[in-house]
Every structure is written in structure tokens, then in C-alpha cells.
């Protein structure tokens, strides 16, 4: 196993968050400068409408400021902590809508075409490479279902309808896939 | 349809709880199930640990998401809602009692200042946590400090750069602003819980530089708030802002 040294960037972001928790406005602004584009990207994949995504990003940083004191560097990296808040807020907004517009027809069955790891070339960290490798071991359609849920915030029901498979089938793809992924990440065979 | 709502995870070796933690971390639950899972998160540390483990394992996926720069105006909106309230104060059940004229929102509103800016200013004054070391030594050297001063609508009005070596603040207007006949802009610095201190009447036309008297340099440091108010010619007669505050911004190293 690799030693999980926090990167210099993570250590710096942790310090900024701890300072923000003490009411340090400048530290909070630097944290915003370093992370806002990342979080905005995460939100936009779930909520492609820009104004809505901006509203959510604003809510997210207000939450980051208020909850900075609850951040624990031993439990999560600062960017994971903040990105989790961003995803949760974006998904909450998505779920609050009365009804989702149907995905365009050409998106149906798109999962099969989603390659094993279209983003593998862009990722930098060792964790991201290992995760991409673990997902590459799965049935492409299963890995693509995991990605669709994670990146777009779609529910099992919505994705099953889009893919024209029973919900139970889709759930077992995703859950089996995630268990195997974890098996790879943790060094065992799944 | 298959019995999709059965509580059984459908996979051997996967408990119901583990399946729920996984589904929640992945973001695949519908609204009601999601809310139910969030209730469990609050009161069930074991369940929370399961969710956090999945969140951590999935998080590296975010590295594949391209960053997108948000519009510059967004920071001003966030600043108005955040640095106006210290995190601990926000967590406290009751608001801190007002301690002076600068805490009086009605007064700021009466002066024609938008609530967010008023809140930002008032809050900037109370944001220093109790027990924090007070005034830092006067800044004699160090990096240039910059601030973007924005109006209550979040629109940047001017950029300020403070050079500790020369003791000068240089301004670059971003938008047209006019103090009006018989009025002048006055610059203030607000540090921690202190009331605003005047840095003098300023000229904010293009590229103008404003020298700050040596005795007033203390407080010009990272995190302090610069504010500009509109005052009678000659500056505020009282030593505190008397006219509307047209722009505020926090100093940051740059």
C-alpha cells in the first residue's frame, strides 16, 4: 500500500479552512480562490443551467464558512470535504424539482458508449489513477452507470428508465460494481 | 417490474446498511430516501462512517471534472453572506447583542446602504473571535495587499493595491462612480472588532495614488476590510463614516 501522505496542496487548504473557522476572512477568500472553479465544475455536471449552478455554489461556500469548524483533516481531505458539500447541495436542488426534463433521445443507451475511463488521462493523483483502474476492470456498462449516478446525480429509477432496464437490474450493476471497485482499491480481489 | 423496493440489497455479503450508505454516497437515492438517510447520518455514527468511507473512495472521480471559473461577482455575494458573520457566531443560537452604532442595521439602511454591505461591514467588525491577539504591529514591510471593492449589488467598483514599502494605496476604478457635488469619497479600514478608522479623503480617478500617514498604517493587513463612504468636502466631521458606504472589500496578499 502506498503511504497516504496528504499533498502539499491539501495541507495548505486544511490550514486555510482552520483559519477560516476562526473567522479569518482572508484565509476564506484564498480557499475560495483555490477551490471555487473545481466545485463549480462539479455542480455544473449535475445542474447544467448556469444561474442555478451559481446559486448553489454561493450556498456551498456559505456552508463551508459556517461549517469550517467541523472540518476534520483526519477524516477527509479538504477538497473532498468541500466537494461533498457541493455535490449534496446540487443533488438536493435537483431533487427539489417537480419533474426532471427527459434526457434527449440520443442520450438513451449512452452508457454502453461511455468508455472505461475517458478521464484517466487527465487525472493526476495516484488515488485517481487507482480508481480509474478499478473501474476499468468492471463491465463498461456497469462502470458507466456508476459514473452517471456520481457525476449527473441521476437516481436509480431515472437511470433505469433511460437505459430501459429494470431498476433492480440497474441497482445490482451499480452495487456489484462498487463492491468490486472497493475490492480492487483495498488490494484484495473482488 | 422486479421488486425494486425490497430492502434486501440483492447481493450476498452486502448488508442493507452498507447498500444504503453506498447509494447515498453515490447520489442515486430519490428525495425521500435521501432525507431518511440524512436523518440516520445525524444520529448514527456507524452509518456515517460507512458513508464517509464510500465518499472518500469515490472522491478521486472529481479529478476528472474540468474546473470552470465562476463569475467574478460571485465572491462579493458570498463575502456579504459570510465574512459578515463569524462561524462561531453563526453557530450560536442567539445573535450577539449590538454594541455600538456600527451594529445598527437600521442606521446603515437609513444611510442608503444595501443590507448585504451593511452586514458585511458590521460583521467584519465583530468577526474577530474573542481572545484573539489584538492589534498586530504596524505593517512596515511585506507583500502588496490588494482588495476589490464592490458595491452592495456585488458589482466591483474599484481595485485597491496597498504597498507597505511606500505606504501608498493605489486605486484603479473598475466602474464609473461619482461622489456628487459637494461630496468626496473617504477611505476607511476596518480591522477585527475595531470601529472604522479613516485613511483620509481620497481621489479615485484612474491610477491615482493616496499616501497614508505613517501613524495610520496599523490595521492595513490581510483580512482587514477597506470601505469607501461618501462624505462632505473635507471628510467626515465625526471621525466615523456619516454618509453612504459605496464599496467594501477585504485585503488579501497578492
Whether B44 is covered by a domain: the verdict is yes
Q: Which domains does chain A have, with CATH numbers?
A: 9-96 (1.10.1740.10), 105-185 (1.10.10)
Which residues of chain A lie closer than 8 angstroms to B27, CB-CB?
87-88, 91, 149-150, 153
Whether B72 is covered by a domain: the verdict is no
State ipTM.
Answer: 0.87
What is the structure's pLDDT at B152? 66
Virtual CA dihedral for A143, A148, A151, A156, nearest 10 degrees?
-110
Which of B74, B91, B222 minimises the CB distance to A26? B222
**Distance linking the first and last C-alpha atoms of chain A:** 17
Which residues of chain A lie closer than 8 angstroms to B222, CB-CB?
26
What is the structure's pLDDT at B92? 40
Taking only the tens of pLDDT, chain B with its 254 residues reads: 444 444 455 566 789 999 999 999 999 999 999 999 998 988 899 999 999 999 999 999 999 899 999 999 999 999 988 886 544 444 444 333 333 333 333 433 434 444 444 344 333 333 333 333 333 333 345 778 888 887 766 677 777 888 777 777 777 766 655 666 677 788 888 877 677 788 888 876 655 677 777 777 777 888 888 888 888 777 887 777 777 777 888 888 87
Distance CA B224, CA A3 (A): 40
Full domain range(s) for residue B41? 16-64
Longest dimension (CA), chain B: 81
From the CB of residue B25, how many other CB atoms can be counted at a distance below 10 Å? 25
Nearest CA in chain B to A155: B28
User: Each residue of A68-106: pLDDT tens digit?
Assistant: 999 999 888 999 999 999 999 999 999 998 755 555 433
Task: Assess whether B156 and B56 both reside in one domain.
Answer: no
Task: Assess whether B204 and B157 both reside in one domain.
Answer: yes
Task: Say if residue A37's pLDDT is above 50.
Answer: yes
What is the structure's pLDDT at B99? 36
Query: Is the CB of B59 less than 8 angstroms away from the CB of A155?
Result: no
Residues in chain B: 254
Task: Assess whether B53 and B126 both reside in one domain.
Answer: no
Residue of higher predicted confidence among A27 and B198: A27
Q: Work out the average pLDDT over A41-49.
A: 96
From the CB of residue B22, how many other CB atoms can be counted at a distance below 10 Å? 23
Task: Assess whether B115 and B185 both reside in one domain.
Answer: yes
Which residues of chain B lie closer than 8 angstroms to A69, CB-CB?
87-88, 91
Distance CA B118, CA B111 (A): 10
What is the structure's pLDDT at A4? 46
Task: Say if residue A113's pLDDT is above 50.
Answer: no
What is the structure's pLDDT at A100? 54
What is the structure's pLDDT at B232? 79
Cell numbers that stand for A170 in this block: 440497474
Query: Is the CB of B132 less than 8 angstroms away from the CB of A151?
Result: no
Task: Assess whether B111 and B32 both reside in one domain.
Answer: no
Look up the CATH number of the domain holding residue B204.
2.60.40
Task: Assess whether B45 and B147 both reside in one domain.
Answer: no
Distance CA A187, CA B210 (A): 63
What is the structure's pLDDT at B9? 56
Whether B7 is covered by a domain: the verdict is no
Task: Assess whether B211 and B95 both reside in one domain.
Answer: yes
Which residues of chain B lie closer than 8 angstroms to A125, CB-CB?
60, 63
What is the structure's pLDDT at A7? 63
Return the DSSP state at A113. G
Task: Assess whether B28 and B94 both reside in one domain.
Answer: no
Query: Is the CB of A40 less than 8 angstroms away from the CB of B22?
Result: no
Which residues of chain B lie closer than 8 angstroms to A62, CB-CB?
78, 81-82
Least Cα separation, residue A68 to chain B (angstroms): 7
Task: Assess whether B86 and B38 both reside in one domain.
Answer: no
Nearest CA in chain A to B92: A66
Task: Assess whether B42 and B141 both reside in one domain.
Answer: no
Task: Assess whether B54 and B117 both reside in one domain.
Answer: no
Which of B34, B56, B127 minimises the CB distance to A23? B127
Please, what is the average pLDDT of chain A?
A: 85
Q: Is B89 exposed, middle or buried (0-12, 13-18, 19+ CB in 10 A)?
A: middle
Whether B70 is covered by a domain: the verdict is no
Task: Report pTM.
Answer: 0.58
Structural domains in chain B (count): 2
> Could you tell me where the DSSP H helices lie in A4-139?
8-21, 25-46, 50-67, 78-96, 126-136
What is the structure's pLDDT at B209? 72
Task: Assess whether B243 and B117 both reside in one domain.
Answer: yes
Nearest to B248 by CA among B109, B147, B134, B97: B147
Least Cα separation, residue A182 to chain B (angstroms): 8
Report whether B31 contacts A158 (CB < 8 A). Answer: no
Query: Is the CB of A122 less than 8 angstroms away from the CB of B252?
Result: no
Name the band, by pLDDT with cuts 50, 70 and 90, for residue A6: low
Return the DSSP state at B62. G
What is the structure's pLDDT at B120? 41
Amino acid at each position: 500500500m502506498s503511504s497516504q501522505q496528504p499533498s502539499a496542496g491539501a495541507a495548505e487548504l486544511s490550514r486555510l479552512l482552520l483559519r477560516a473557522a476562526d473567522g479569518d476572512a482572508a484565509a476564506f477568500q484564498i480557499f475560495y480562490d483555490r477551490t471555487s472553479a473545481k466545485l463549480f465544475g462539479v455542480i455544473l455536471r449535475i445542474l447544467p443551467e448556469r444561474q442555478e449552478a451559481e446559486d448553489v455554489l454561493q450556498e456551498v461556500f456559505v456552508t463551508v464558512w459556517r461549517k469550517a469548524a467541523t472540518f476534520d483533516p483526519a477524516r477527509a481531505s479538504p477538497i473532498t470535504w468541500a466537494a461533498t458539500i457541493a455535490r449534496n447541495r446540487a443533488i438536493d436542488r435537483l431533487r427539489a424539482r417537480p419533474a426532471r426534463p427527459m434526457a434527449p433521445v440520443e442520450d438513451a443507451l449512452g452508457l454502453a458508449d461511455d468508455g472505461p475511463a475517458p478521464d484517466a488521462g487527465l487525472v493526476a493523483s495516484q488515488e485517481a489513477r487507482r480508481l480509474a483502474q478499478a473501474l476499468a476492470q468492471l463491465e463498461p456498462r456497469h462502470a458507466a452507470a456508476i459514473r452517471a449516478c456520481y457525476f449527473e446525480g441521476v437516481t436509480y429509477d431515472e437511470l433505469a428508465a433511460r437505459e430501459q432496464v429494470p431498476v433492480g437490474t440497474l441497482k445490482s450493476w451499480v452495487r456489484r460494481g462498487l463492491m468490486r471497485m472497493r475490492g480492487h482499491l483495498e488490494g484484495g480481489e473482488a | 417490474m422486479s421488486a425494486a423496493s425490497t430492502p434486501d440489497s440483492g447481493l450476498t455479503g452486502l448488508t442493507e446498511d452498507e447498500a444504503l450508505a453506498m447509494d447515498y454516497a453515490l447520489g442515486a437515492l430519490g428525495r425521500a430516501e435521501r432525507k431518511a438517510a440524512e436523518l440516520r447520518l445525524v444520529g448514527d455514527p456507524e452509518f456515517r462512517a460507512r458513508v464517509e468511507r464510500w465518499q472518500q473512495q469515490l472522491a478521486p472521480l472529481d479529478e476528472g471534472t474540468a474546473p470552470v471559473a465562476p463569475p467574478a461577482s460571485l465572491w462579493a455575494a458570498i463575502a456579504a453572506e459570510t465574512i459578515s458573520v463569524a462561524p462561531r457566531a453563526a453557530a450560536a443560537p442567539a445573535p450577539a447583542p449590538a454594541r455600538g452604532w456600527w451594529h445598527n442595521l437600521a442606521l446603515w439602511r437609513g444611510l442608503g446602504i444595501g443590507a448585504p454591505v451593511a452586514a458585511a461591514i458590521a460583521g467584519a467588525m465583530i468577526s474577530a473571535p474573542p481572545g484573539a491577539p489584538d492589534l498586530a504591529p504596524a505593517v512596515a514591510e511585506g507583500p502588496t495587499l490588494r482588495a476589490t471593492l464592490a458595491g452592495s449589488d456585488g458589482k466591483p467598483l474599484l481595485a485597491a493595491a496597498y504597498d507597505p514599502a511606500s505606504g501608498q494605496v493605489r486605486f484603479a476604478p473598475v466602474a464609473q462612480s461619482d461622489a456628487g457635488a459637494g461630496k468626496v469619497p473617504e477611505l476607511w479600514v476596518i480591522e477585527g472588532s475595531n470601529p472604522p478608522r479613516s485613511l483620509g479623503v481620497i481621489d479615485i480617478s484612474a491610477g491615482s495614488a493616496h499616501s497614508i500617514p505613517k501613524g495610520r498604517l496599523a490595521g492595513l493587513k490581510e483580512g482587514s476590510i477597506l470601505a469607501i463612504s461618501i462624505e462632505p468636502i473635507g471628510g467626515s466631521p465625526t471621525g466615523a463614516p456619516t454618509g453612504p458606504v459605496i464599496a467594501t472589500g477585504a485585503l488579501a496578499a497578492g
